[in-house]
Structure 1
Amino acid sequence: MAKRTNIYRLTLEQLELASGKTVFQKPIEIDSDNYDDIFGIIEQVNKKNPFNNLGQLVQFAVSLKMFSEIIIKNHNYPFFEKLFPVFGSFMKGLKAALVQDNHS
């Protein structure tokens, strides 16, 4: 039986340019699968509120989960070889810190 994953739709839309120019790109929309329940992760991490900013929390959780899924799926690519073991260690430490902090 195939492993089931969650499917997400990500939309990136340019709202403002730092340069002040008004040349905008067409929004990019992609569908992405991820083993984890990202909304559940956001909810759990928000209980700890590590950034005191919901926008930063969502950016952190979404970007980290999207990035980690790409690393896991492509860990044999040469540009991920050195990152894969370090990233795994980082994720274990992050999860331990969040679990430990939520039980304090």
Structure 2
Amino acid sequence: MSTKHHQYRLTLEHEATTQPEQALHAPVTFSFANHDDLFAILDRVRSAQVLPAEEAASLALGVKLLGNVLLAHRHEPLFTELWQAHSEFVQKLKSHSKASAA
């Protein structure tokens, strides 16, 4: 079965609190689709060495998740400016990643 989107499931687990009496939150899991292979993007951003590997993964995944929402709502007034800034940032990140790979 071939689709135009990769399917992903993300689980966020609360591992520790700032206060001993505070309870851990239950995990949150959600599924989403993206036309990109996110694991390939994670590898590219990590190999560009713009940030330590853990932060690079957070950046790459955060940018892609935010991008999905912005793309879906880019014509709504609340998201218009952010959509433009996000697009510019992604282009800079891509050019930096390409320059690092060369």
- The normalised TM-score by structure 1 is 0.86
Which residue number in structure 1 is paired with residue 29 of structure 2? 29
Per-residue Cα deviation, 1:52-80 (whole angstroms, up to 9, x for no partner): x3211111111111111111111122210
Deviation at 1:19, TM superposition (A): 2.3
Which residue number in structure 2 is paired with residue 87 of structure 1? 86
**Unmatched runs of 5 consecutive residues or more in structure 1:** none
Deviation at 1:49, TM superposition (A): 2.1
Deviation at 1:9, TM superposition (A): 0.5
Which residue type is aligned with residue 49 of structure 2? N
- The normalised TM-score by structure 2 is 0.87
Q: How does 1:47-86 map to 2 (within 5 A)?
A: 47-51=47-51, 53-86=52-85
Which segments of structure 1 move beyond 4 Å, counting only runs of 4 or more? none
Of all paired residues, the percent bearing the same amino acid is 21
* Number of equivalences: 100
Per-residue Cα deviation, 1:23-72 (whole angstroms, up to 9, x for no partner): 12211000011111110011122222222x32111111111111111111
**Unmatched runs of 5 consecutive residues or more in structure 2:** none
CA RMSD of aligned residues (A): 1.5
